[in-house]
Amino acid sequence: MDKTMKKKMEQLKSKLMEIGDLGYISSLLNWDQSTYMPPGGAPARARQMALIGRMAHEKQTDAKLGKLLDALEPYRQSLPYDSDDASLLRVARRDFELAIKVPSAFMADFYGHCALSYENWTQARPANDFQKVAPFLEKTLDLSRQFAEYFPGYEHVGDPLINLNDEGMKASSVRALFASLRQQLVPIVKAISAQPPADDACVHRHFPESLQSQFGVEVITAYGYDFKRGRQDKTHHPFMTKFSLGDVRITTRFDEHFLNNGLFSTLHEAGHALYEQNINPAFEATPLGVGTSSGVHESQSRLWENLVGRSRPFWEFYYPKLQKVFPQSLKDVSLEAFYRAINHVKRSLIRTEADEVTYNLHVMIRFDLELQMLEGKLAVRDLPEAWNARYTADLGVTPPDHKDGVLQDVHWYSNFIGGVFQGYTLGNLIGVQMMEAAQKAHPTIVEDMGCGKFDALRSWLKDNVNWHGRKYLTDELVKRVTGKPLSIDPYIHYLKRKYGELYQLS
Amino acid sequence: MDKTMKKKMEQLKSKLMEIGDLGYISSLLNWDQSTYMPPGGAPARARQMALIGRMAHEKQTDAKLGKLLDALEPYRQSLPYDSDDASLLRVARRDFELAIKVPSAFMADFYGHCALSYENWTQARPANDFQKVAPFLEKTLDLSRQFAEYFPGYEHVGDPLINLNDEGMKASSVRALFASLRQQLVPIVKAISAQPPADDACVHRHFPESLQSQFGVEVITAYGYDFKRGRQDKTHHPFMTKFSLGDVRITTRFDEHFLNNGLFSTLHEAGHALYEQNINPAFEATPLGVGTSSGVHESQSRLWENLVGRSRPFWEFYYPKLQKVFPQSLKDVSLEAFYRAINHVKRSLIRTEADEVTYNLHVMIRFDLELQMLEGKLAVRDLPEAWNARYTADLGVTPPDHKDGVLQDVHWYSNFIGGVFQGYTLGNLIGVQMMEAAQKAHPTIVEDMGCGKFDALRSWLKDNVNWHGRKYLTDELVKRVTGKPLSIDPYIHYLKRKYGELYQLS
């Protein structure tokens, strides 16, 4: 690299890091709002989110940034595709091209609106009051469609939104994938429903919050979550957030009468955090220094939550410990009964509490409804009815209220409508496909889990997935890591194997 | 106001609010670092503080802001001095003139350095390691002197720094005030020291942290601190901070074997918070929307801490409640004995724990030492020795270590050296002078305290002091509110009356 290019690379990185840091600052404003901010802080917080959002967007679209990228183009072309610098230049270019299509004032308005809408949702959900959120949701839908209109030539109005979180994917490709998945899933759900239901009463006994927290911390510390570079707090809706490579925080919530809620949320968010904590430090605060997509992020969280945390070997090691933490509630429950309880397949109301088999049906409902809203075929006022109708049709349960119905997930109330939910199902698929590859590389991974050891798995994920941050698109990464394109087959085989045994399916 | 001026005023306010909000965002970054940030977050936090500091300073020095202020000058001159708009224009002009003297890169460097220095101090203090902070302190001293050099023509190198916190004051005026105060104080301290010491063993018994916290919350709620617009957390060094009029937070620390520590810190910070929560909402996020100076701020905190919280009527009401909270430690302690214990005058090591009589001697030590450092007469490496020598000479106690010596206060380790400590003593003086005026207006204030009622006092402070934010300079405000210029007499009379009775001085 000659001196001029070197200097330009440094200038570029410094500009990109400012953008990255403004994003992290915005995340802190958001974390604080979700964890500790008193209610009186909400109006100013919305104003401050809008200000930071606008300033970040102004930096993202700075003409000088474009010129630097242009000037560095020959340097990029001289490098191998997967070198760090070529990747940074490639991804920064994509971000720049995307950002300049959207006015800064729009982004400021959007961030400010999201902060107010979120605050409103935190009150509306416990009050079971859809009417309270409806006007906010109307504006969110308007803003979401307006955002899509900044990208004329899209195939589907949802595509620009999907692209924000799962870069390179489209409504059509996701729909096709979901259709074939649905075809395979529905018979499995039916077959299981025909069996006698598992007894999960034991996870609904009394589990004091502080002890749940203590046990969760023990497990995720063993997973490798580094509390010196993170912390855990409580929020209405669990999430992972990041303010730098050295500060990756998670949140959770607890239900003293439903163990799964806090436990699996904790493992899930720790999975996200392991991704972010294990990214190459050289990428700090640059566009490469985050997980590559919603789908790959969920692959990590769902893997640590389910493929590890809901597996039999894991509980062979941890169940005696859990019994010691909750002797009153669990002393008369065998490992096998507990394992069956936490893997109890049930057509139910709440996505975050759903079992591995029905989970994707929850996602598909949201994905379809948000596309319908974006297409203008479903009005916000008709959303609760449509939601309930789909739950009745797909899952055989009708929400008794909005709280555990259309108000249950924070996403539509704090972000665009569209483009987020598909990531959960993509993550389920990618997670299993990656776990297969990891086990191929390290055949002792399952055996290790039975001893509470996760080093080989964590290292493999770090080296193959996490370390690369945003260098590769989802499809590239999946192929690179597993040797095959993204497919539903490993996931379906996994379900059939695990639940075939649990429910004695033929 | 004609249409053009109206539009320009709106443009100005919008620009000023952006600056205000960036300041609030910076305060949140700082609050988070002090309360919950994991250690791994420190390097990026320093970078982010520097970024926000630089962006805020760029906005503060924006030529467009200067042009707006120029254009609005005829409008300002057409208004009464104490109108809101004239005051905003006057104060904004002063801020602008100050900001343009300092380069943005300097401020960025300074904020980044402070964040690192603070983090370093949090480790060095418990480790009793002055050497660890010395290099940071050297740089802080350099930066402090460099800052002063941006204001050539100063009378004393400390003046530009004093002006930052106590606008309009100078080293010479503070020195003169301190000299006459010292002359009055020293004989009082001597006279008290000649008496048999009060017995304060009862406040060193065991006071569980959670109960201390609960009692503190009860008192400051009665004071009028609004938890819907605030919250309390724990930090190494207690402080009050603000992210908007609706979000004014306080912090405290507890010592389970010294009741005064957490209790009076809590009352003190609540006093600061009452100031900020009671500012005219029309000033939100503008230069008028904060307390007017360090001295006036401390007048509020020291008033609620001492003139209320260390008074006999206050404890006539609260002591039976305190006894109920800590029956084991206090059941055999009479109200009178407790009152004497919390007003125990003792030449001691720690400023924040000092009694009302010796407190100002602690401040004077710091004020003198920081001026000597700024003057180049005292090197950082010689600071611990100079500190210990002054404590031995002025207070008759020699710090056994640096932890409770030169490392005890956060200020030099997280801000400029110089310009902050004088505010505490100014606050002691102003607080008594204001309390006298308040009692003249509402003669039942003391009687009310004996019933746990603080409405008349709080309302008087709100209407006369808090509501006006930064409209008036300290001197203007003191004269306006008390009818007299700032004087040491009311404070000295107060000490003689209260401690004359307690120690039976002639």
Do the Cβ atoms of B243 and A41 come within 8 Å?
A: yes
CA gap A60, A248 in Å, rounded: 23
Q: Phi and psi at residue B242, in whole multiples of 5°?
A: -145, 135
Do the Cβ atoms of A17 and B233 come within 8 Å?
A: no
Do the Cβ atoms of A17 and B243 come within 8 Å?
A: no
Q: pLDDT tens for residues A306-338?
A: 999 999 999 999 999 999 999 999 999 999 999
Per-residue tokens: B73: 């000058």
The angle at the Cα of B265, spanning B264 to B269, to the nearest 5 degrees, equals 115
Do the Cβ atoms of A36 and B230 come within 8 Å?
A: no
Task: Enumerate the residues of chain A whose CB falls inside 8 A of the CB of residue B233.
Answer: 36
For residue B147, pLDDT beyond 90: yes
Mean per-residue pLDDT for A23-38?
A: 97
Do the Cβ atoms of A230 and B29 come within 8 Å?
A: no
pLDDT the model gives residue A252: 97
pLDDT the model gives residue A248: 98
**Do the strands A232-234 and A247-252 form a parallel or antiparallel pair, or are they unpaired?**
parallel
pLDDT the model gives residue B115: 87
Element (H, E) at B60: helix B42-60
Q: Phi and psi at residue A248, in whole multiples of 5°?
A: -115, 105
User: Angle between the B130-149 and B359-375 helix axes, to the nearest 10 degrees?
Assistant: 70
Name the β-bridge partners of A179: none
Q: pLDDT band at A95, cuts 50/70/90?
A: very high
CA gap A354, A358 in Å, rounded: 6
pLDDT the model gives residue A506: 75
For residue A256, pLDDT beyond 90: yes
CA gap B69, A236 in Å, rounded: 45
Closest CB to A28 among B29, B40, B230: B29
Q: pLDDT band at A58, cuts 50/70/90?
A: very high
Task: Enumerate the residues of chain B whose CB falls inside 8 A of the CB of residue A249.
Answer: 38
- Chain B CB within 8 Å of residue A55 CB: yes
Instruction: Nearest chain A residue to B31 by CA: give it.
Output: A32
- Of the listed ranges A1-5, A119-123, B43-47, the least confidently predicted one is A1-5
Closest CB to B228 among A39, A48, A233: A39
3-state secondary structure B410-469: CHHHCCCCCCCCHHHHHHHHHHHHHHHHHHHHCCCHHHHHCCCCCHHHHHHHHHHCHHHC
Name the residue with tokens 């500790």: A36
Q: pLDDT band at A304, cuts 50/70/90?
A: very high
- Chain A CB within 8 Å of residue B210 CB: no
Confirm if B445 and B457 have CB atoms less than 8 A apart. yes
How confident is the prediction for chain B on average, in pLDDT?
A: 96
Task: Enumerate the residues of chain B whose CB falls inside 8 A of the CB of residue A108.
Answer: none
- Chain A CB within 8 Å of residue B446 CB: no
Per-residue tokens: A215: 């046990």
Do the Cβ atoms of A247 and B41 come within 8 Å?
A: yes
Compute the nearest-CA separation of A286 from chain B (Å): 13
Do the Cβ atoms of B40 and A285 come within 8 Å?
A: no
pLDDT the model gives residue B290: 97
- Chain A CB within 8 Å of residue B39 CB: yes
Do the Cβ atoms of A40 and B231 come within 8 Å?
A: no
3-state secondary structure at position A86:
helix
Q: Which residues contact B354 (CB under 8 A, 6 or more apart)?
A: B348, B362
Which is catalytic among the residues A269, A276, A298, A356? A269
Closest CB to B21 among A18, A51, A243: A51
pTM reported for the whole predicted model: 0.95
**Do the strands B232-234 and B247-252 form a parallel or antiparallel pair, or are they unpaired?**
parallel
Q: pLDDT tens for residues A208-242?
A: 999 999 999 999 999 999 999 999 999 988 999 99
Mean per-residue pLDDT for A89-94?
A: 98
B269 is catalytic: yes
Do the Cβ atoms of B40 and A226 come within 8 Å?
A: yes
Interface test with A, best of B247, B279, B284 (most A CBs within 10 A): B247
pLDDT the model gives residue B125: 95
Q: pLDDT tens for residues B434-474?
A: 999 999 999 999 999 999 999 999 999 999 999 999 999 99
pLDDT the model gives residue A298: 98
Do the Cβ atoms of B39 and A245 come within 8 Å?
A: no
- Chain A CB within 8 Å of residue B40 CB: yes
DSSP secondary structure code for residue B350 in this structure: -
Name the β-bridge partners of A241: A249
- Chain A CB within 8 Å of residue B495 CB: no
DSSP secondary structure code for residue B381 in this structure: G
CA gap B145, B63 in Å, rounded: 26
C-alpha distance from residue B232 to each of A122, B22, B243, B247 (Å) = 22, 22, 14, 11
CA gap A193, A188 in Å, rounded: 9
3-state secondary structure at position A363:
helix
CA gap A346, A503 in Å, rounded: 12
Do the Cβ atoms of A44 and B25 come within 8 Å?
A: no
Do the Cβ atoms of A47 and B243 come within 8 Å?
A: no
Instruction: Nearest chain B residue to A20 by CA: give it.
Output: B48
Cα end-to-end span (Å), chain B: 62
> How many A-B residue pairs are in contact by the CB < 8 A criterion?
121
Task: Enumerate the residues of chain A whose CB falls inside 8 A of the CB of residue B40.
Answer: 226, 228-230, 244-247
Compute the nearest-CA separation of A228 from chain B (Å): 6
Do the Cβ atoms of A29 and B28 come within 8 Å?
A: yes
Per-residue tokens: B332: 């055999």
Q: Which residues contact B249 (CB under 8 A, 6 or more apart)?
A: A38, B31, B230, B231, B232, B233, B240, B241, B242, B243, B273
Compute the nearest-CA separation of A30 from chain B (Å): 11
Which is catalytic among the residues B167, B269, B298, B356? B269
Confirm if B206 and B259 have CB atoms less than 8 A apart. no
3-state secondary structure B147-193: HHHCCCCCCCCCHHHHHHHCCCCCHHHHHHHHHHHHHHHHHHHHHHH
One-letter amino acid identity for A429? L
Closest CB to B44 among A40, A231, A247: A247
Compute the nearest-CA separation of B34 from chain A (Å): 14
Closest CB to B246 among A21, A43, A230: A43
- Chain B CB within 8 Å of residue A233 CB: yes
Task: Enumerate the residues of chain B whose CB falls inside 8 A of the CB of residue A27.
Answer: none
Q: Quote ipTM for the complex.
A: 0.94
- Chain B CB within 8 Å of residue A52 CB: yes
Closest CB to B51 among A18, A44, A47: A18
Closest CB to A32 among B28, B41, B42: B28
Closest CB to A38 among B18, B21, B228: B228
CA gap A170, A161 in Å, rounded: 9
Domains of chain B: residue spans and CATH: 3-151 (1.20.58), 171-502 (1.10.1370.30)
3-state secondary structure at position A316:
helix
pLDDT the model gives residue B198: 87
pLDDT the model gives residue B197: 87
Closest CB to A247 among B37, B231, B285: B37
- Chain B CB within 8 Å of residue A375 CB: no
What DSSP letter does each residue of A168-226 carry, written as one string?
A: T--HHHHHHHHHHHHHHHHHHHHHHHTSPPP--GGGGS---HHHHHHHHHHHHHHHT--
For residue B57, pLDDT beyond 80: yes
Do the Cβ atoms of B38 and A229 come within 8 Å?
A: yes
Q: pLDDT tens for residues B218-270?
A: 999 999 999 999 999 999 889 999 999 999 999 999 999 999 999 999 999 99
CA gap B259, B250 in Å, rounded: 18
Do the Cβ atoms of A38 and B244 come within 8 Å?
A: no
- Of the listed ranges A133-147, A475-489, B112-126, B264-278, the least confidently predicted one is B112-126
Query: Which of A177-184's residues contact partners 24+ apart within 8 Å by CB, and which partners?
Result: A177/A426, A177/A429, A177/A486, A177/A488, A178/A360, A178/A364, A178/A367, A178/A422, A178/A425, A180/A488, A181/A360, A181/A425, A181/A429, A181/A488, A181/A491, A181/A492, A182/A360, A182/A361, A182/A364, A184/A488, A184/A492
Task: Enumerate the residues of chain A whose CB falls inside 8 A of the CB of residue B115.
Answer: none
Mean per-residue pLDDT for B390-396?
A: 95
Q: Phi and psi at residue A151, in whole multiples of 5°?
A: -120, 65
For residue B506, pLDDT beyond 80: no
Mean per-residue pLDDT for A32-41?
A: 96
- Chain B CB within 8 Å of residue A210 CB: no
Cα end-to-end span (Å), chain A: 62
**Do the strands B240-244 and A240-244 form a parallel or antiparallel pair, or are they unpaired?**
unpaired
Q: pLDDT band at A2, cuts 50/70/90?
A: confident
Instruction: Nearest chain B residue to A232 by CA: give it.
Output: B36
Compute the nearest-CA separation of B120 from chain A (Å): 16
For residue B61, pLDDT beyond 90: yes
- Chain B CB within 8 Å of residue A19 CB: no
Do the Cβ atoms of A43 and B285 come within 8 Å?
A: no
Residue B260's nearest CA partner among B196, B216, B307 is B216
